[in-house]
Amino acid sequence: MPFDIPNAESFGFQKDEDDGRLPDGLSNGIIGPTIALSIDSKINYPWTDSIPKEIFVEYVTPYANVNEARSNWRPYFHENIVSILQPFLENPISTREDVIHALDEQVWTIFSKDGAKPIFFKSGQTPLIYDPMSILAFGYASCTGLSIFLVDILRTAGIPARLAGTNAWNGNIENGNHSWIEFFGSDNEWHIMEARPASGGSGERKLTDPCQWWFCNSDKVQGTMFYAARYDRCAVHNVPFPLAWDSENLGVVGEDRTEFMRALCSNC
């Protein structure tokens, strides 16, 4: 059964006695709808059944990834991806990969700015355009923005996902940076993928094959440090998540994924 979205009064906020309205922002804050829709996805989407609680809490419920602008994107995303998810609700053998593939194929057109041209990749946009609402307004983003957008789409569908990447290929900042995502697959393991507009092309992609991604190979992993963003600031193995667009900001926490990526990509 879907949960009703909490309102501000349920959290103890009182109405203004003069005009009966709550102070601006309190009546429809981010936390209430975010938690309610997260729980709703856990109840209603069968592909969430085997997700461990700690993974679901940290990588489905959060309303942000790194230091992007905060906004109430989840209700809007939820409303617009229902039609994509419906066929999988009717098919009990649907996997998370099935759902991810369908979402990544369709959301860029569904959320297009003018209803015709899909959201597309445009380099050099972070940090100008990398939060979901800016991407909706402009219709494009670079790799970081597209990855954040897809992470948020997957979280709306109850699928754990997180931003991943490197701030310096082969340890050299002059070689550039890149962002992609990690998703929690049907095998309850983390896998890497790139948002469709960032990777280009069309057609079927086997999401559990890491070697299909251009950044997953022995040349790229040599000397490169990799990270995945976290929400839990108290986790034992937290490290600063390096922001290539805000290098002095050490306030975003992450997980060192260097050994994971080297093991995954060294034979590609």
The Cα–Cα gap between 212 and 67 comes to 29
> What pLDDT digit, counting tens, does each position of 19-45 carry?
455 455 545 688 889 999 999 999 999
The Cα–Cα gap between 16 and 14 comes to 7
For a pLDDT cut of 90, what percent of the chain falls above it?
79
Query: For residue 75, what are its two tokens?
Result: 């209700």
Neighbouring CB atoms inside 10 A of 137's CB total 10
Residue 245: closest CA among 116, 134, 144: 144
- What sign does the CA torsion over 163, 156, 84, 86 have? positive
What pLDDT score was predicted for residue 113?
A: 82
255 three-class SS? strand
Torsion of the alpha carbons at 179, 255, 38 and 158, rounded to the nearest 10: 60
Sorted by where each starts, the structural domains of the chain and their CATH numbers stand as 1-44 (no CATH), 62-265 (3.10.620)
The Cα–Cα gap between 153 and 195 comes to 11
120-121 and 140-141: which strand pairing? Answer: parallel
- 155 burial (CB, 10 Å; 0-12 / 13-18 / 19+) is buried
Query: What is the mean pLDDT of the segment spanning 236-250?
Result: 95
23-32, 95-104, 155-164: lowest mean pLDDT where? 23-32
31-44 and 143-156 helices, crossing angle to 10°: 60
The Cα–Cα gap between 64 and 108 comes to 20
For a pLDDT cut of 70, what percent of the chain falls above it?
88
What are residue 141's DSSP bridge partners? 121
Cα 216–chain centre separation: 20
Helices (H), 111-240: 132-138, 143-156, 196-199, 218-221
Furthest-apart CA pair in the chain: how many Å?
68
φ, ψ for residue 3, nearest 5 deg? -85, 140
> What pLDDT digit, counting tens, does each position of 122-153 carry?
999 999 999 999 999 999 999 999 999 999 99
Number of C-alpha atoms within 13 angstroms, CB side, residue 191?
A: 20
